[in-house]
Amino acid sequence: MNVRITLLSLIHVLYTAFANIVTEVADTTNKASLVEASVAADARPLRRTTHGEIQGYFMESSGTLAEVYEAVPYAQPPIASLRFQPPKPLGEWNETLDCGKDRMVRCVQFGEKHSKTETEDCLYLNIIIPRKQVV
């Protein structure tokens, strides 16, 4: 029963965090642009969440262009007094959060050699949004 409440709390946090997303595509000159067949090398997608803006990157795989956002937080870090507690809602941030390449966070994996990228602060999502087929 407690696990079910925790999962329902997590689903509510995720819904609240990403329910009102507005799409923008911004390049380094802050002009919105998306070229029909391809995207400029310096273009980075920008999305607004209920917590603040996140900026990712574009990736092409198997002919499909996608927006990628790495390590998007969806709850407060489960550290200190929040350890082993249900997720707590995330506050807002004022500046654009860089969710670009090489930001992925890896949860501690027991039974494996520990790496520098593992942490108990692992309440993050990696989001991939397919945009369209590249011709």
37 CA to centre of own chain: 25
**pTM of the predicted protein model:** 0.64
pLDDT tens for residues 1-34?
555 555 555 555 555 555 444 444 343 333 333 3
Q: How many domains does the chain have?
A: 1
Report whether 53 contacts 96 (CB < 8 A).
yes
Structural domain for 71, as ranges: 2-133
